[in-house]
């Protein structure tokens, strides 16, 4: 699984967006669908984040531009 910044994952009814990615840690935001700009920030190890999104699907966002 390849992780990158601004990636969005759906696990059941929950959405998780990677805000900042480092070698061993992930800052992510649990996104509330009613307030997509809001959400709660969390900082975990990369291993913990992978366990959190195990079985989740990546939400592909449409590309803007050309």
Which residues span the domain enclosing 32? 8-58
Would 64 be classed as within a structural domain? no
Residues 6 or more apart whose CB falls under 8 angstroms from that of 41 comprise 19, 27, 28, 29
pLDDT in tens, the chain (66 residues): 789 999 999 999 899 999 999 999 999 999 877 776 778 899 999 999 999 999 999 998 766 655
Would 1 be classed as within a structural domain? no
Q: Model-level pTM?
A: 0.81
Would 63 be classed as within a structural domain? no
Could you please report the per-residue DSSP string of 37-54?
EEEEEEEEEHHHHHHHTT
Tell me what pLDDT residue 36 has.
64
What are 36's two structure tokens? 């997509």
Would 53 be classed as within a structural domain? yes
């Amino acid at each position: 699984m390849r992780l990158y910044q601004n990636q969005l994952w759906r696990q059941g009814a929950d959405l998780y967006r990677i805000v900042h990615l480092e070698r061993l840690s992930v800052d992510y935001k649990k996104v509330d669908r009613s307030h997509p700009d809001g959400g709660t920030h969390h900082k975990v190890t990369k291993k913990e984040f992978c366990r959190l999104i195990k079985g989740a699907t990546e939400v592909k966002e449409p590309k803007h531009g050309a």
